[in-house]
């Protein structure tokens, strides 16, 4: 695949809390770093997302008495997985991994800041209607294709890629630049759903 000036590299949530030793660590999560850093040099356009939760966020298990991590509750906007407290604003866990190259990015999207609504996607919060402004930003810059990387493959990468297609961007997910949480088969479910949505899945050696 040839990279052009209308392509954008989207780096999703490569933060300390999603890497080994973090509060919501994705297994082998830090192994995406050398792959993503290699890709950065190929792109003129780069956007990074950052989970950035207030401490009273409604998706945290600690804010739901009697619930266990990874259980599912019903919110006004639908079903919501409850997570261990993670990526709390201003903490070490919310910072980007120290080895991630961030300076070439033109934009950092902070998401999950509304305590009442979780936000997996780079484009929309989990109510599926409150936008982050990313779609408009990219259209203003004539971006046509989005190449998705980061953590976690079966949640924030998946939702971002799915919304990218809905926003009329050609969408690619670089599989070896992602790692999955994989709760009860969510990695395979995400793979199947992305293929059905017309999202291209490929390895970094194909870029």
Residues classed as catalytic? 13, 111, 156
Q: Which two tokens stand for residue 165?
A: 């297609």
Q: Give the strand pairing for 78-81 and 200-202.
A: unpaired
Backbone angles phi, psi at 47, to 5 degrees: -130, 140
Cβ(163)–Cβ(121) below 8 Å: yes
Cross-sheet strand order for the sheet of 200-202: 107-111, 46-51, 7-12, 145-151, 170-179, 200-202
Q: Which residues contact 14 (CB under 8 A, 6 or more apart)?
A: 29, 32, 33, 36, 48, 96, 97, 100, 150, 151
CA atoms within 13 A on the CB side of 165: 16
Interior/surface letters 19-46, b for 16+ CB within 10 angstroms, e for the rest? beebbbbbeebbebbebbeebbeebebb
């Amino acid at each position: 695949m040839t990279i052009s000036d209308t392509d954008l590299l989207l780096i999703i949530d490569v933060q300390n809390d999603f890497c080994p030793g973090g509060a919501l660590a994705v297994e082998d999560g830090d192994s995406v770093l050398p792959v993503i850093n290699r890709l950065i040099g190929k792109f003129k356009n780069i956007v990074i997302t950052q989970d950035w939760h207030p401490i009273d966020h409604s998706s945290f298990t600690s804010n739901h008495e009697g619930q266990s991590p990874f259980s599912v509750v019903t919110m006004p906007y639908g079903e919501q997985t409850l997570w261990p407290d993670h990526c709390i604003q201003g903490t070490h866990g919310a910072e980007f991994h120290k080895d991630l190259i961030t300076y070439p990015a033109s934009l950092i999207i902070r998401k999950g800041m509304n305590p009442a609504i979780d936000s997996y996607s780079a484009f929309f919060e989990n109510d599926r209607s409150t936008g982050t402004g990313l779609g408009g930003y990219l259209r203003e810059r004539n971006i046509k294709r989005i190449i998705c990387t980061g953590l976690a493959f079966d949640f924030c990468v998946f939702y971002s890629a799915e919304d990218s297609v809905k926003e009329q961007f050609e969408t690619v997910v670089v599989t070896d630049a992602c790692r999955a949480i994989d709760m009860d088969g969510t990695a395979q479910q995400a793979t199947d759903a992305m293929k059905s949505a017309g999202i291209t899945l490929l390895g970094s050696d194909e870029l």
